[in-house]
Structure 1
Amino acid sequence: MRAVQYNSYGGGPAGLKHVEIPLPTPSKDEILVKLEAASINPFDWKVQKGMLRPLFPRKFPHIPGTDIAGEVTEVGQGVQKFKPGDKIVALVNPFNGGALAEYAVAKESVAASRPSETSASEYAGLPVAGLTALQAVTKSLGIKLDGSGERKNVLITAASGGVGHYAVQLAKLGNTHVTATCGARNLELIKSLGADEVIDYKTPDGAALKSPSGKKYDAVIHCTVGIPWSTFEPNLTMRGKVVDITPSTASMLTFALKKLTFSKKQYVPLVLFPKGEDLKCLVDLVKEGKLRTAIDSKYPLTKAEDAWAKSIDGHATGKIIVEF
């Protein structure tokens, strides 16, 4: 099969090599998938940069990527939910990677069926970004997607990014008032996804995270980097909570300090725990027209380096998709 891999840390897009390698074999509880689409996440190139060593990758050469949508061609021992011919979306083991290849293996437990009549690209963005947004909204903030919970005022930073644009839509399903920050060119898109207030992050109010209506935030889903606690703190209610999807060393120190001082205002780092049933929830929302994937751009596997460079640039609107 055709695949894209790299052999060492660093190198950026130029470090990606196109190779021909044998098809992987599904082990116990795994499925083999013929890919139709994959999506690129910042996690992927951060691994290449060595930012997550020594955990990731497990070994070189490494085929990057975790988000896949395609068709099951073979099932391993013990697989019960899927059979050859099923259309699925899945999360590949991030330690091993494998999404930038014509075939990949995934655990049955982190896969979900998807409609065969809809483009695979609509679903390929869901695994990492969609699950992160879902976990932040429902688990970290306790928002109920049926709208039955207490109404909250929520801020979502970098709302036009992969996680952010899903978080806006999911939070709105939960009967919240959503304020979102993004660049000027994406203001209308984020409004169309349901945000009540949208702020250009380059304006003074945007940089200060101030709500146009003057409301303080019960919660923040923080989808970017470089904003200190001192910017969030004055905008939070007494028991306001900041959920950080890309926690840094500095933010972990803030988390520890808030715990030690018994602060009512909380800082919570998010660590993704993917589950197949949560992925199925997202697929169902897409089917019902309640959630959609904003696609920034699509590339063939032969142009994977261009997709990689686009993600590293950091200004993608929604998801970057590689199609097969």
Structure 2
Amino acid sequence: MAVKLMHAVQYEGYGGGAASLKTGGGLSEYGVVKENLTVPRPPEVSAAEGAGLPVAGLTAHMALTQSAGLKLDGSGPQKNILVTAASGGVGHYAVQLAKLGNAHVTATCGARNIDFVKNLGADEVLDYKTPEGAALKSPSGKKYDAVIHCAAAFPWSVFEPNLSTNGKVIDITPGPSAMWTFAMKKLTFSKNNWCHYFWFEGENLRYLVELVKEGKLKTVIDSKFPLSKAEDAWAKSIDGHATGKIIVEP
């Protein structure tokens, strides 16, 4: 199926979807993807709003539901969730989705984004440049049942004292040290765990689109770039200081 693209495989006209994890995505006006990876875009959801969902939104959703075990309808027990880099692409979705699941959310971000992250619903917000923020300590002293780690690498020694008995660190961009920690936790049967793998499904994408349509989830757009300026968009993304999503438009 040919789908017009926005920022990898995204939303325009028919709908949008996620490209294969094996072959990756790309920046082009049209692309061919499997139909079961696409979802129609309702008129209530703009192309730009939908554009962040296939990767960042799905990553946040899968981290919270499959790895952290959070029920987004709020029917499960309340969990304490930490979201690092909470003002970024994945982080700003994770905060909103965690609150839908009735979690107590602690979040980290830069000082300029504290009010922004509070408005997303976070119960506690830490400036990551302060000693408390660098130590990932909840102001209320809560231990985290799950950490949705969207920031640069932290050593396990920073996470461990802040985790509940069965707490997990779900690292969305694991490096070699994170992989080593994951392997060692498995080998030693540790109650604390480090997770780092997700699989995207069309039904989850459909669910997120419905949340946006109903006003229960929002895509915050940092900036938009034309396709001819894709290099500038990529450079801004790599810089790591975007608030929400960067959108590339045809």
Deviation at 1:94, TM superposition (A): 4.8
- Of residues 296, 299, 305 in structure 1, which corresponds to 2:231? 305
Match of 1:320 in 2: 246
Whichever residue aligns with residue 106 of structure 1, its letter is V
**Which has a greater percent of helix?**
2
1:186-242 Cα deviation digits (max 9, x unpaired):
111111111000000000000000111111111111111221100000111111111
Match of 2:161 in 1: 234
Identity within the alignment, %: 66
Q: Calculate the aligned-residue CA RMSD, in Å.
A: 1.3
Deviation at 1:97, TM superposition (A): 4.9
- Separation in 2, partners of 1:191, 1:246: 24
Match of 2:204 in 1: 278
1:290-309 Cα deviation digits (max 9, x unpaired):
11001110011121121111
Provide structure 2 residue ranges, at least 5 long, that are not aligned to the other structure: none
1:267-297 Cα deviation digits (max 9, x unpaired):
222x231111110010001011111001110
- Does the aligned pair in 2 maintain the 1:238–1:265 contact within 8 Å? yes
**Structure 1 moving runs of 4+ over 6 Å:** none
Match of 1:218 in 2: 145
Match of 2:12 in 1: 70
Match of 2:189 in 1: 262
- Does the aligned pair in 2 maintain the 1:68–1:99 contact within 8 Å? no
Match of 1:22 in 2: none
Say if 2:13 is the partner of 1:32.
no
1:150-206 Cα deviation digits (max 9, x unpaired):
101110111111111101011110011000000111111111111000000000000
- Separation in 1, partners of 2:135, 2:123: 18
- Separation in 1, partners of 2:203, 2:107: 28
* Other structure's SS at 1:305 match: helix
Match of 2:94 in 1: 167
Deviation at 1:99, TM superposition (A): 3.9
Bigger-Rg structure (1/2) = 1
Deviation at 1:260, TM superposition (A): 1.7
Say if 2:193 is the partner of 1:251.
no
Whichever residue aligns with residue 69 of structure 1, its letter is Y
1:8-54 Cα deviation digits (max 9, x unpaired):
xxxxxxxxxxxxxxxxxxxxxxx11233xx23xxxxxxxxxxxxxxx
What is the TM-score when the length of structure 2 is the normalising length? 0.96
Provide structure 1 residue ranges, at least 5 long, that are not aligned to the other structure: 1-30, 40-64, 72-86
